C-alpha cells in the first residue's frame, strides 16, 4: 500500500470511529451530557425561547420587577455603584436592576424626568438648586424625591505647584467637565460663591489632564468620590492639589473633607492631607403618585436595597458604600415615601436613645477641646456605628 492509500485508509477509520462515538450522544439528554438549558436559568430567558403572543403575562411580570437606573459617565463612581446594585440586588425574576451609563448629573435629571424607562438615578445634591437658581428650569424640585444619600464626592483641584490657592486661579484657564455633568455645576457654584472668576475650558477630563501637563491649562477640576481612580493616575513632578478652605459661603450646601496622601501618593507628600469640600451624591426617583404602578416598582427596589445595604458595604464592592447611612437627612429634599416608611418600620432605637447619644457626643467634644464640630452627616455615621455595636454586643437601648 502506497503512502496516499495508507493515509486515506487511516482517515476513513477515524471517521467511522467518530460516527460510532457520536451515535449514543444523539440519544442522551442535555443533563446527561452536562449541558444547561438556557431557558432554565430564568423565566426571562424562557420567555425568549418560547416567544409568542401568549406570553404577555411573562412580559408584564418581568417589566414590573425590573428597575432601570441612570448612572454617570464611563469610569466614574456612579457607574461602579450601578454595577454593584445590579450584582447584589438581582434576585432571579423577583428583582432586577438595569444600570444605564449616563452623561452626568444634569443629564440624569432630564432622563429621570423624561425618559419613559428610567425609574431612578444617581445625581448630586446641588444640581437641582443650580438649575432653578440660574433659571434654566422652573420649580422642578417637587417632582423629585430622594431615596437615600449615598456618599460624599470630594472636589479635586489639580494644578501646578505655582498655584497655591483658589484665588490664584482668578483669570486663569481652568478645565471643568462638559455642561451636562455634575462637576460643571459644583465647580461653577463654588467659584461664584468665593468671588473667583477663572476662564473655563469645557474639556473631557482625560484630555484635560494631558493639556495640564503640557502647560495649556492652569488647573483641572474633578468632583468625584475619593479615592478617584482617574485622579490617582495623574502624574507630574510639579502637580499638586490646591486646598479649598471650608469658608462661610460654602457651608450652606457643602461639607468639609480632606484628600489623603495614601490615596494620592503622586500628588500629596507622605503623611500629608489637603483640605477640600464635598457634595452629597444621592439616589433619587421621580415623585410618583403613591398608588401608581411606577411607585410600586420603586417601592419594591427600596425594600430590597435597604435590606441588602450591609452586603454592599463589604468587599469587593466600592469602599464609598461604607459612607451610606440610610437615615441621613438631606436639607431641602423630600424623602421617597416608601423609603421613609421602611425607616420608620425598622427603627432600631427610640428617640430618647438618639438624644442621649447626641448629648454624649457634645460632652466628648467639650472634654477633648475639639474646636471643629462634626457635621450632621458625620454624627449620623457615628450613630449607625453605635447601633451596630449595640446590636452585636446585645446591649439594650
pLDDT per residue as tens digits for the range 225-236 = 888 888 988 887
Distance between CA atoms of 214 and 202, rounded to whole angstroms? 17
How far does Cα 227 stand from its chain's mean position? 13
Give percent of the chain above pLDDT 90. 38
Residue 254: all three cell numbers together: 457643602
By the 8 A CB rule, do 82 and 99 touch? yes
Alpha-helix residue ranges (DSSP H) falling in 90-196:
105-114, 127-133, 182-193
Higher-pLDDT residue of 213, 34: 213
Q: C-alpha grid cell for residue 155?
A: 472636589
Checking if the pLDDT of 5 tops 60, the result is no
One-character DSSP codes across 35-49: ---GGGT-HHHHHHH
Q: Which of 141, 119, 149, 152 is nearest to 298 (CA)?
A: 119
- The pLDDT value recorded for residue 61 is 65
Task: Using alpha carbons, select from 355, 382, 307 the residue that is nearest to residue 390.
Answer: 382
The CA-based angle 71-74-77, given to 5 degrees, is 60
Using the predicted structure, report yes or no on whether residue 168 has a pLDDT greater than 90: yes
Residues of the chain with pLDDT > 70, as a percent, come to 72
What is the secondary structure of 144-163 as a DSSP string? EEEEEEEEEEEEEEEEETT-
Phi first, then psi: give them for residue 261, nearest 5 degrees: -60, -35
**Binning pLDDT at 50, 70 and 90, where does residue 345 land?**
confident
Most confidently predicted of 61-65, 184-188, 393-397: 184-188
Q: The dihedral of CA 111, 117, 123, 129: what is its sign?
A: positive
- pLDDT greater at residue 142 or residue 194: 194
Q: Please report the beta strands in 298-341, taking only residues with DSSP state E, as ranges in sequence order.
A: none
Is residue 72 within 8 A of residue 79, CB to CB? The reply is yes
What average pLDDT does this structure show over 334-352? 80
Q: What H or E segment, with its residue span, contains residue 201? A: strand 199-202
Residue at grid coordinates 416598582: 297
Peptide bond before residue 227 is cis, with ω within 30 degrees of 0 = yes
Domain residue ranges in the chain: 53-361+375-393
Which CATH number applies to 53-361+375-393? 3.40.190.10
Q: Specify the DSSP class assigned to residue 225.
A: P
* Residues 195, 198, 201, 203, CA torsion sign: negative
Higher pLDDT, 109 or 320: 320
Please count the residues of the chain: 397
Model pTM above 0.85: no
Tell me if 374 sits within 8 A of 362, measured CB to CB: no
Q: Are strands 96-100 and 66-70 parallel, antiparallel or unpaired?
A: parallel
Please check the confidence at residue 111 and state whether its pLDDT lies above 50. Answer: yes
Q: Return the bridge partners of 220, or none.
A: 158, 175
195: nearest Cα among 165, 225, 220: 165
Amino acid at each position: 500500500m502506497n503512502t496516499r492509500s495508507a493515509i486515506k485508509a487511516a482517515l476513513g477509520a477515524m471517521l467511522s470511529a467518530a460516527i460510532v462515538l457520536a451515535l449514543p450522544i444523539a440519544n442522551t439528554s442535555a443533563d446527561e451530557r452536562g449541558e444547561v438549558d438556557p431557558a432554565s436559568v430564568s423565566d426571562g430567558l424562557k420567555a425568549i425561547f418560547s416567544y409568542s403572543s401568549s406570553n404577555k403575562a411573562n412580559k408584564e411580570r418581568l417589566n414590573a420587577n425590573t428597575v432601570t437606573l441612570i448612572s454617570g459617565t464611563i469610569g466614574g463612581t456612579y457607574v461602579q455603584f450601578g454595577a454593584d446594585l445590579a450584582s447584589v440586588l438581582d434576585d432571579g425574576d423577583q428583582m432586577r436592576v438595569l444600570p444605564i451609563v449616563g452623561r452626568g448629573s444634569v443629564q440624569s435629571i432630564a432622563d429621570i424626568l423624561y425618559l419613559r424607562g428610567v425609574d431612578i438615578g444617581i445625581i448630586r445634591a446641588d444640581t437641582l438648586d443650580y438649575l432653578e437658581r440660574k433659571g434654566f428650569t422652573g420649580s422642578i424640585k417637587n417632582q423629585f424625591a430622594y431615596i437615600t444619600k449615598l456618599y460624599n464626592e470630594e472636589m479635586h483641584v489639580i494644578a501646578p505647584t505655582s498655584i497655591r490657592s483658589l484665588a490664584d486661579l482668578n483669570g486663569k484657564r481652568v478645565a471643568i467637565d462638559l455642561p451636562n455633568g455634575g462637576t460643571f455645576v459644583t465647580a461653577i457654584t463654588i467659584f461664584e460663591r468665593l468671588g473667583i472668576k477663572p476662564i473655563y475650558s469645557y474639556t473631557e477630563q482625560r484630555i484635560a489632564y494631558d493639556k495640564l501637563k503640557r502647560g495649556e491649562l492652569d488647573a483641572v477640576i474633578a468632583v468625584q468620590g475619593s479615592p478617584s481612580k482617574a485622579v490617582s493616575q495623574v502624574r507630574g513632578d510639579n502637580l499638586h492639589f490646591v486646598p479649598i478652605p471650608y469658608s462661610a459661603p460654602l457651608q450652606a450646601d457643602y461639607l468639609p473633607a480632606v484628600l489623603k496622601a495614601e490615596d494620592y501618593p503622586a500628588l500629596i507628600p507622605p503623611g500629608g492631607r489637603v483640605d477640600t469640600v464635598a457634595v452629597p451624591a444621592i439616589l433619587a426617583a421621580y415623585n410618583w403618585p403613591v398608588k401608581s404602578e411606577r411607585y410600586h416598582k420603586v417601592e419594591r427596589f427600596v425594600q430590597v436595597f435597604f435590606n441588602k445595604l450591609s452586603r454592599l458595604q463589604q468587599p469587593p464592592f466600592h469602599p464609598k458604600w461604607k459612607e451610606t447611612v440610610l437615615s441621613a437627612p438631606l436639607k431641602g429634599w423630600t424623602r421617597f415615601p416608601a423609603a421613609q416608611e421602611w425607616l420608620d418600620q425598622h427603627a432600631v432605637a427610640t428617640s430618647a436613645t438618639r438624644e442621649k447619644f447626641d448629648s454624649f457626643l457634645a460632652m466628648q467634644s467639650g472634654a477633648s477641646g475639639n474646636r471643629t464640630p462634626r457635621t450632621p452627616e458625620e454624627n449620623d455615621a457615628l450613630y449607625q456605628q453605635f447601633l451596630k455595636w449595640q446590636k452585636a454586643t446585645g446591649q439594650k437601648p
